């Protein structure tokens, strides 16, 4: 991944410059990932100060003034450079034994009179394993960060680290999944008052690499190209796939051909990378950082080339609901193979959209789990790499109280409307195209229908609390609401579930029961996810989500199914609350 130590063709003429550079070479001999970053480059350039009328210490202090751009720093160094010192810098650029980070290379080139630096990074940082990040930028800028090494395995992404002070200094400790281990790569950028941002800066934590490289397979997108090859692209060109310099290995499961590629300094694919293959081919992908799993035996995930087709079911598809059958029992619908990503950018409640099946209890429960504990759902899902997917449910024996795991395997075939080719039942978000729709929810629903017997059985009624138990393996509680329900106790029940990250849902009264739902934006005999709570003055507000992914009370924000109502109205409209027990 990094260059090894070689021999420079000639010694550096500036002894002080040579001495500092030799210390970096010794460090490289001990740690192969050593590079010269922006801060190290400033140390080297400061040693040229004897011809600039300043001591190296004075110049280094001036070069580190908060908010200075690379171009301004280069201008300070250029004053009074001799031809020998310029030759030394050219030698470091061309034949240096310690790799140069992009900012260091740009700085050296700017000092030598190269093309002006088109951007203004204005950010420098150091990452310390086990603690956090410190650095400098423009005064009062907001610092955004992502631990690339941790995010590539977990899906966690960019967050606000903090704000620089009036001198442009910032320091923050990272905790939880973003806490850097030795060798982790952290990307940072500054966001300024005018809305502009600095360039992303990638910094590596000190010490030996302690974390295997992860890979965000769901960001990969494979498609056929005019050249007859398979183009490999990222769904977001500005976001990483894995650690900088990591190597990916693609195995075509049809031909067993293996091809590798090395990611650039931002953890992204090189432009124009392609594979041998055709539409419908499925690839397994492995990753190594050069330290862990060098043989790349562990599969990070699978990705399918858009398009293509196959004949016949890999796994039988659950029977349709009776409403989707002709009088003679034949299906009104057809089946289509969906090959989109299993999971794209993590699991969220927004991925869950109920279709025409009257199984609202199921998507409401799934969305509540996705909102509270998405990592749990991720653990239930396995891509088998052969076009099939296994979902593992928990079944409770009510006589003994014992539970057992029930794996259910399905393929990517879904029942669709013949005229449109879109799913008749659950879908993954707004996108319904076979090549791009996110699949985890519709396939989870399909697996549940297969386990229960058919879509008809699944659409004949159920309760969210049962689904909570079947997804989490934990006991659930069901509470009826009535005139004797204490508002304070109910509020405590809702808020504690949300705070404890326990999934929670609610059901309305029967359509022709004691409540009239006309013009309320809420529907009778329907299940909703409870996804949060708020207080507005003296009002206590419950935040809910319609599993349809749209349709809500008027004047409640975007029509995404998420809305809030005050506790008193909630108690009037809803008949029960279900949650995982404490």
pLDDT digits (tens, 9 = 90+) for 406-421: 999 999 999 999 888 9
pLDDT at residue 115 in the model: 57
Between residues 424 and 181, the one the model is more confident about: 424
Same domain, 500 and 435: yes
Kindly report which listed range (45-59, 187-201, 217-231, 406-420) carries the lowest average pLDDT score.
45-59
Total domains present in the chain: 4
Same domain, 396 and 513: yes
Is 65 a residue whose pLDDT tops 60? yes
Q: What percentage of the chain's residues is helix, strand, coil (to nearest 5)?
A: 25, 25, 50
Is 343 a residue whose pLDDT tops 60? yes
Is 121 a residue whose pLDDT tops 60? no
Q: What is the mean pLDDT of residues 429-436?
A: 89
Top mean pLDDT of 179-183, 300-304, 426-430 is at 426-430
- Give 40-53 pLDDT, tens digit per residue: 888 888 887 655 56
C-alpha to C-alpha distance for 305 and 405, rounded to whole angstroms = 33
Q: What is the mean pLDDT of residues 470-479?
A: 95
Q: What is the mean pLDDT of residues 186-190?
A: 86
* 118 domain residue, yes or no: no
C-alpha to C-alpha distance for 99 and 1, rounded to whole angstroms = 11
Q: What CATH number is given to the structural domain containing 414?
A: 3.90.70.10
Same domain, 313 and 234: no
C-alpha to C-alpha distance for 434 and 422, rounded to whole angstroms = 8
User: Is 425 in a helix, a strand, or coil?
Assistant: coil
From 265, 289, 304, the end of a domain falls on 304
- Give 242-281 pLDDT, tens digit per residue: 998 999 999 998 899 999 999 988 889 998 999 999 988 8
Top mean pLDDT of 83-87, 159-163, 563-567 is at 563-567
Here the tokens at position 85 are 């010192």
- The chain-wide mean pLDDT, for the chain, equals 86
pLDDT-derived band of residue 146, with 50, 70 and 90 as boundaries? confident
Q: Which domain holds residue 421?
A: 309-582
From 55, 76, 111, the end of a domain falls on 111
386 CB-side CA count, 13 A: 7
User: Which contiguous run of DSSP H or E holds residue 491?
Assistant: helix 487-499
* 31 domain residue, yes or no: yes
pTM of the model: 0.64
**Edge-to-edge strand list for the sheet holding 388-396:** 381-383, 388-396, 403-411
Neighbours of 501 (CB within 10 A): 13
* 223 domain residue, yes or no: yes
C-alpha to C-alpha distance for 222 and 282, rounded to whole angstroms = 9
Residue 520 DSSP one-character state: T
Q: What CATH number is given to the structural domain containing 138?
A: 2.60.40.10
Same domain, 449 and 543: yes
Phi, psi of 24 (to 5 degrees): -70, -35
From 111, 139, 157, the end of a domain falls on 111
* 212 domain residue, yes or no: no
Residue 217 DSSP one-character state: G
How far, in whole angstroms, is CA 492 from its chain's centroid?
32
């Amino acid at each position: 991944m990094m260059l090894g130590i070689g021999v420079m063709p000639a010694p550096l003429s500036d002894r002080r410059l040579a001495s500092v550079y030799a210390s970096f070479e010794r460090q490289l001999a001990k740690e192969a990932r050593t590079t010269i970053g922006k801060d190290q480059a400033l140390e080297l350039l400061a040693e040229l100060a004897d011809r600039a009328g300043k001591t190296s210490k004075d110049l280094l202090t001036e070069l580190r003034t908060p908010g200075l751009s690379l171009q301004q720093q280069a201008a300070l160094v250029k004053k009074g450079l001799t031809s020998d010192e310029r030759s030394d810098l050219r030698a470091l650029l061309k034949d240096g034994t310690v790799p140069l980070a992009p900012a260091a290379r740009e700085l050296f080139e700017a000092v030598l009179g190269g093309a002006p630096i088109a951007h203004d990074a204005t950010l420098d940082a150091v990452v310390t394993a086990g603690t956090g990040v410190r650095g400098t930028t423009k005064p009062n800028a907001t610092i955004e960060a992502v631990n690339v090494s941790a995010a590539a395995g977990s899906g966690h992404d960019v967050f606000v680290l903090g704000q620089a002070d009036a001198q442009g200094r910032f320091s923050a400790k990272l905790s939880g999944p973003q806490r850097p281990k030795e060798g982790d790569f952290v990307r940072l950028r500054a966001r300024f008052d005018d809305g502009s941002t600095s360039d992303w800066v990638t910094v590596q934590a000190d010490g030996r690499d302690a974390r295997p490289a992860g890979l965000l397979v769901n960001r990969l997108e494979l498609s056929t190209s005019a050249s007859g090859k398979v183009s490999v692209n990222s769904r977001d060109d500005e976001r990483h796939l894995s650690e900088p310099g990591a190597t990916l290995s693609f195995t075509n499961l049809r031909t067993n051909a293996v091809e590798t590629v090395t990611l650039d300094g931002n953890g992204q694919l090189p432009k124009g990378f392609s594979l041998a293959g055709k539409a419908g081919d499925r690839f397994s992908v492995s990753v190594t950082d050069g330290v862990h799993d060098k043989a790349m035996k562990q599969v990070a995930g699978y990705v399918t080339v858009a398009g293509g087709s196959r004949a016949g079911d890999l796994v039988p598809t659950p029977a349709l609901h009776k409403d989707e059958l002709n009088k003679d029992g034949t299906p009104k619908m057809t089946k289509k193979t969906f090959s989109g990503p299993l999971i794209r950018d993590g699991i969220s409640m927004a991925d869950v959209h109920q279709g025409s099946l009257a199984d609202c209890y199921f998507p409401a429960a799934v969305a509540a789990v996705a909102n509270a504990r998405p990592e749990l759902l991720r653990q239930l899902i396995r891509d088998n790499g052969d076009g099939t997917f296994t979902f593992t449910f928990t079944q409770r024996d009510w006589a003994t109280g014992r539970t057992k795991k029930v794996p259910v395997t399905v393929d990517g075939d879904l029942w669709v409307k013949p005229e449109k080719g879109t799913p008749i039942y659950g879908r993954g978000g707004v996108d319904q195209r076979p090549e791009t729709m996110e699949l985890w929810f519709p396939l989870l629903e399909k697996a549940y229908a297969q386990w229960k017997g058919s879509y008809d059985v699944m659409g004949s009624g159920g309760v969210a609390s049962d689904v909570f138990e079947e997804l989490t393996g934990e006991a659930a509680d069901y509470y009826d609401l009535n005139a004797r329900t204490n508002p304070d106790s109910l509020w405590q029940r809702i808020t504690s579930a949300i705070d404890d990250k326990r999934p929670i849902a609610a059901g309305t009264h029967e359509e022709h029961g004691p409540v009239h739902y006309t013009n309320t934006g809420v529907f009778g005999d329907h299940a909703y996810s409870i996804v949060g709570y708020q207080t507005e003055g003296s009002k206590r507000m419950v935040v809910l989500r319609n599993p349809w992914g749209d349709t809500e009370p008027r004047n409640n924000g975007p029509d995404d199914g998420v809305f809030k109502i005050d506790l008193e109205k909630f108690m009037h409209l809803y008949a029960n609350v279900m949650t995982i027990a404490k």
